Amino acid sequence: MRLIIALVLVYFATAPIAGAQADTTSLPAWYQAHVGFMTRDSGTWLAENDDVSDQNPYTHFGLQWTAMPGHTGMTGRLYGLHADGSTEEFWQFREFWHAGDNQARVMQWGLGGAFGDGMMTRYGDDFATVRQTFSWPNGVRTEGGHIIRTGADNTYTAEQYRINPDTGQWEFQHALTFRRQD
């Protein structure tokens, strides 16, 4: 009897996994191309830090992206690179196609307990925005945005914005141009 119960439990625990495969039929081609672009080769991107200081001691900022099966999404991390080669991670990301909302969803967490969640909107072959709501450890919620512009085959620029809670205006913070690493 114990064997039968164990087999039934194993079946129900693994049945959803056994049938789960990446269904790419509902994904738009632009999103699969976006994931392919970001994760190609090593999936590693570096941007020079033009504002090195005591408060900002990083020579470069790095992004590392890994594709999910079928290019249905990707996971990533943003980190700072010190002159001695050591790194400090700021954010972890999960980006995926949300079939229910028919949009790309971007989630991120880090910076001592902060969490961001929002959607990516595409505006052309080389231009997209990400708008997210951030929840900070002190209970404050803010909105932020990014404008992402892909350039040549091995570069893209990410512009960061604060979204003013009173006016909804996007207020420019800074921009970084990332270059693909081998």
Residue 20 per-residue DSSP state: -
How many other C-beta atoms can be found within 10 angstroms of the C-beta atom of residue 163? 16
Which position has the higher pLDDT, 90 or 182? Answer: 90
**pTM given for the model:** 0.82
CB 77 within 8 A of CB 91: yes
Residues 6+ apart with CB under 8 A from 113: 136, 137
Q: Work out the average pLDDT over 118-141.
A: 94
* Residue 14 confidence class, pLDDT cut points 50, 70, 90: very low
* Residue 70 confidence class, pLDDT cut points 50, 70, 90: confident
Superfamily per CATH, domain 24-180: Calycin beta-barrel core domain (2.40.128.20)
Q: What is the rounded CA–CA span in Å between residue 107 and residue 95?
A: 6
The SS3 call for residue 142 is strand
State residue 54's pLDDT score: 85
Which of 13-22, 52-61, 141-150 shows the lowest per-residue confidence on average (mean pLDDT)? 13-22
Q: Which residues pair with 77 in a beta bridge?
A: 64, 92
State residue 10's pLDDT score: 37
Task: Select from 119, 20, 128, 30 the least CA-distant residue to 71.
Answer: 30
Task: Select from 49, 70, 73 the least CA-distant residue to 60.
Answer: 49
| Chain segment 28-47, per-residue pLDDT in tens | 999 999 999 999 999 999 99
* Residue 78 confidence class, pLDDT cut points 50, 70, 90: very high
Which of 4-8, 76-80, 133-137, 144-148 shows the lowest per-residue confidence on average (mean pLDDT)? 4-8
